[in-house]
Amino acid sequence: MTMKIDYVAAPGGALRGRARVPGDKSISHRSVMLGSIAEGVTRVSGFLEAEDALATLGAFRQMGVTVEGPVDGRMTIHGAGMHGLKAPSEPLNLGNSGTSMRLLCGLLSGQPFDSVLTGDASLSRRPMRRVTEPLRRMGATIETTAEGTAPIRIFGKQSLHGIDYRLPVASAQVKSALLLAGLYAQGETSVEEPAPTRDHTERMLAGFGYPLRREGSRVTLQGGGKLTATELDVPTDISSAAFFLVGASIAPDSELVLEHVGINPTRTGVIDILRLMGAKIEVLDSRMVGGEPVADLKVVSRPLRGIQIPEKLVPLAIDEFPVLFVAAACAEGETVLTGAAELRVKESDRIQVMADGLGALGIDACPTPDGMIVRGGRIGSGRVASHGDHRIAMAFAIAALRASGPIEIDDCANVNTSFPGFTELARRLGLNVEVVRHA
Ligand code: S3P
C-alpha cells in the first residue's frame, strides 16, 4: 500500500536565516550518465539524493555500473567506458523523471543491446517524439506507443550517423539526448537551438575531456571519442532555491541567504524575472566550481509589481513558473506570461493546474494556450490539488506565507523527486507546513 502525503501550510510567517538547498537535479543526472561511460573513477559530491536522480543511478546499476554511495551526496562511479554498459535484464523504470527518460533514449540508441524504458503515470503521458524522431534520423530503431509516449523500446546494434538538427522547441533534454547519441555516431552531430537552454551537458562533456564546438546557438561534437573520469562538485539547485527566493520576497520581514547555488546563466531566469517584479536579490561571492558558476543568494522581502514576462527568459526559468505564479498572485497589478506552452507538458499541465489552484484560493488567474494572466490579489484559504507534481506542491506551500488561512495541498509525495527535506527546511526557515500521511 503506498502512503499518500498531503501538506497543510499555516498562513503567515517570514523566512529568515541561512540555508543550503539540495544538489542540482539536472547536473546530478548528467554526473551519473557521463561518469558511467567514462574511463576511470569519477568522484561526485553534492549529488541530489532524490527519486529522479536515483532513478538514473538505478538504471546505470542495472546496466552493470558499480557505484559506491551516495552517502551525504558523495559517490564514486567506476566508469565502464564508452562500450562497457551491459544489457539490462529488465525494463529500466524511470519513475517520474523526464530527464532520465529523454537523455537515456539518446545514450541507449548507441548501445549494442536492446532496452525498454518505462515510467509512472505522469511520465507515461509526456511527449517523447521530440527525441525519438531526430534519433531515428540518426539511424536509431526506437518504438513508442501510438501516441508517442512511453514505454519506449530501443533496439541496439544500430550504426548511428551524425545529423545537423534544429530543435523545433527550446529543450535541453532533446539537445542533450542528441549529443549523447552523437558520442556513438559516425561523423558530426550538430544541434541548433531556437533559444538558449541549460548547457550542463556541454559543460560536463568538456569537463570529461570530450571536445565540442559551440558557435552561436549551435553545438557540435564528433562521435567516437572517449570521456576521462573527473571530480564533480554539484552546486545546489536554483530550481529548489526558487521556492525560497519567492517566499522571502513575498513574506514581509524576511531575510534569507541561500548558499552555494548554481547560477549558470542558462538557469537564472527566475532571478531576472523576480528583479523585474521589484524583488531584492543579491548575488554574493560568485565563484566557479567544477565548470559551473556558483554564488550565495541574499533575498530580502520587497513589494512586487506585475510585469509582462519577457519571452526570452522563459526557457531560462522553465521549471520556476509554478512558484513565479505565486509571486504574481502577491504582486500589485497584472503579470502576463506568454510563449510558455511547454509548461503544459511538464510533470503536470502547469498552466491549468496552477490556474485552478490559484482560482481555488481566490486569485484571478486566467490560463491561455501558452501562458497565464495573473492579477495580484489576496490569497485566501482552501484545498488545492498538486496532481502529483512536486513543484506545484511546493509552490502552494510557499503561497501560504501570504494567505488569509491554511492551504491544504493534496498529493505531495513527489516532492521527494527533487527536494527531499523540503518541509523540514521550510519549517526551519519560518514556513509552518505540516505533513499529513494517509494509508
Ligand atoms: C531539464 C531540462 C528542462 C527542465 C527539466 C530538466 C534537463 O526540460 O524542464 O526539469 O535537465 O535537461 P526541457 O529541456 O524539456 O525544457
The whole-angstrom separation of Cα 385 and Cα 271 is 27
131 lines ligand 1 (CB under 6 A): no
Residue 374 scores a pLDDT above 90:
yes
The stretch 52-79 carries a mean pLDDT of 98
The whole-angstrom separation of Cα 242 and Cα 244 is 5
Residue 234 scores a pLDDT above 80:
yes
Residue 1 scores a pLDDT above 80:
no
- Distance from the alpha carbon of residue 381 to the mean position of ligand 1, in angstroms: 32
pLDDT of residue 214: 97
189 lines ligand 1 (CB under 6 A): no
Is the dihedral angle over the CA atoms 396, 402, 404, 406 positive or is it negative? positive
The whole-angstrom separation of Cα 418 and Cα 397 is 15
Q: What is the pLDDT of residues 241-251, one digit of tens each?
A: 999 999 999 99
Q: What is the pLDDT of residues 278-331, one digit of tens each?
A: 999 999 999 999 899 999 999 999 999 999 999 999 999 999 999 999 999 999
Q: Under a CB-based contact definition with an 8 Å cutoff, are residues 31 and 42 in contact?
A: yes
185: left (phi over 0), alpha (psi -120 to 50) or beta: beta
Task: Say yes or no: domain 4-23+235-438 is CATH 3.40.50.720.
Answer: no
Q: In the sheet where 66-71 sits, what is the strand order?
A: 66-71, 74-78, 41-45, 231-233
Cell of 33: 550518465
Residue 256 scores a pLDDT above 60:
yes
220 lines ligand 1 (CB under 6 A): no
Closest CA to 402 of 53, 3, 9: 9
Residue 257 scores a pLDDT above 80:
yes
The catalytic site residues sit at: 319
Cα 415 to chain centroid, rounded: 12
Residue 439 scores a pLDDT above 90:
no
Q: Whose CA is nearest to atom 4 of ligand 1?
A: 319
pLDDT of residue 2: 67
Mapping DSSP to helix (H, G, I), strand (E, B) and coil, where does residue 225 land? coil
Residue 198 DSSP code: -
Residue 418 DSSP code: T
Mean residue pLDDT across the chain: 98
- Distance from the alpha carbon of residue 171 to the mean position of ligand 1, in angstroms: 6
Residue 319 DSSP code: T
Q: Under a CB-based contact definition with an 8 Å cutoff, are residues 36 and 85 in contact?
A: yes
Best mutation site among 99, 234, 349 for ligand 1, i.e. most ligand atoms within 8 A of its Cβ? 99
Closest CA to 204 of 239, 230, 183: 230
The whole-angstrom separation of Cα 104 and Cα 181 is 9
pLDDT of residue 3: 80
Q: Whose CA is nearest to atom 13 of ligand 1?
A: 171
pTM, entire model: 0.98
Best mutation site among 24, 26, 342 for ligand 1, i.e. most ligand atoms within 8 A of its Cβ? 26
Closest CA to 145 of 121, 127, 169: 127
The whole-angstrom separation of Cα 34 and Cα 89 is 22
Cell of 68: 559506491
Give the residue range(s) of CATH 3.65.10.10 domains in the chain.
4-23+235-438, 25-233
- Distance from the alpha carbon of residue 380 to the mean position of ligand 1, in angstroms: 32
26 lines ligand 1 (CB under 6 A): yes
Mapping DSSP to helix (H, G, I), strand (E, B) and coil, where does residue 112 land? coil
Closest CA to 107 of 44, 35, 48: 35
pLDDT of residue 195: 97
Q: What is the pLDDT of residues 218-229, one digit of tens each?
A: 999 999 999 999
Q: Which atom of ligand 1 is nearest to the CA of 201?
A: 12
For 85, phi then psi, to 5°, come to -70, 150
pLDDT of residue 231: 98
The whole-angstrom separation of Cα 361 and Cα 406 is 10
Q: Which atom of ligand 1 is nearest to the CA of 30?
A: 11
Q: What is the pLDDT of residues 7-50, one digit of tens each?
A: 999 999 999 999 999 999 999 999 999 999 999 999 999 999 99
173 lines ligand 1 (CB under 6 A): yes
- Distance from the alpha carbon of residue 172 to the mean position of ligand 1, in angstroms: 5
Q: Whose CA is nearest to atom 9 of ligand 1?
A: 319
Whether the bond into 151 is cis, omega within 30 of 0: yes
- Distance from the alpha carbon of residue 26 to the mean position of ligand 1, in angstroms: 7
pLDDT of residue 339: 98
pLDDT of residue 373: 99
Residue 51 scores a pLDDT above 70:
yes
- Distance from the alpha carbon of residue 102 to the mean position of ligand 1, in angstroms: 9
pLDDT of residue 310: 98
The whole-angstrom separation of Cα 242 and Cα 319 is 9
96 lines ligand 1 (CB under 6 A): no
Q: How many residues does the chain have?
A: 439
414 lines ligand 1 (CB under 6 A): no
- Distance from the alpha carbon of residue 176 to the mean position of ligand 1, in angstroms: 10
172 lines ligand 1 (CB under 6 A): yes
Q: Under a CB-based contact definition with an 8 Å cutoff, are residues 241 and 297 in contact?
A: yes
Mapping DSSP to helix (H, G, I), strand (E, B) and coil, where does residue 14 land? coil
CATH superfamily placement of domain 25-233: Enolpyruvate transferase domain (3.65.10.10)
Residue 391 scores a pLDDT above 70:
yes
The stretch 141-152 carries a mean pLDDT of 98
Cα angle: 220, vertex 226, 227; to 5 degrees: 90
Q: Whose CA is nearest to atom 15 of ligand 1?
A: 171
Residue 144 scores a pLDDT above 80:
yes
The whole-angstrom separation of Cα 342 and Cα 348 is 11
- Buried-state track 50-66, b at ≥16 Cβ within 10 A, e below 16: bbbbbbbbbbbebbebe
319 lines ligand 1 (CB under 6 A): yes
Residue 79 DSSP code: -
132 lines ligand 1 (CB under 6 A): no
